[in-house]
Amino acid sequence: MTKLTLGSHPYLLGFEQLERLMERTAKTGNEGYPPFNIEQTSDHGYRITLAVAGFREEDLSITVEDSQLVIRGRNSDDGDDRVFLHRGIAARQFQRSFVLADGVEVAGATMEHGLLHVDLKRSVPETVVQTIKINQG
């Protein structure tokens, strides 16, 4: 019995890249920090919210690299002379990655009350009907 993978199924033509995409997503190495939510805001809109308490806007970067949304945080500790009796607020750097489907773009980002909101929008492709002429050979 031959095992069919997603990319080799006879009715899914041209989806080989989807299998590679799923493998790449599994390798992103995202740990549990910082915590995040993903919500659907409309039929074609999404919002990713990350809890980034202690980070300033200039400590964060948001990029799209090869259909992958990458959010990085690097907290600049400007209070080296401070002595903590207890440090429960994480101040470590992080990187969160999210794979974006074709047609999904970053609409913008805002920060409020220690939460970073990244809004995404999905453009709806036009339906195209194409008639193929059969040539006689």
Give the whole-angstrom CA distance, residue 131 versus residue 103: 25
Altogether, the residues listed in the chain come to a count of 137
The domain segmentation of the chain, as residue ranges, is: 1-29, 31-122
Tell which CATH classification among 3.40.50.140, 3.40.50.720, 2.60.40.790, 3.40.50.300 matches the domain 31-122. 2.60.40.790
Q: How far apart are CA 55 and CA 51, in angstroms?
A: 9
List per-block mean pLDDT (blocks of 10 residues) for the chain, which spans 137 residues.
63 72 63 90 96 92 93 79 83 89 94 97 90 90
pLDDT of residue 102: 87
Q: Give the N- to C-terminal CA distance of the chain in Å, as an integer.
A: 38
**pLDDT of the residue at 77:** 65
Backbone angles phi, psi at 101, to 5 degrees: -70, 160
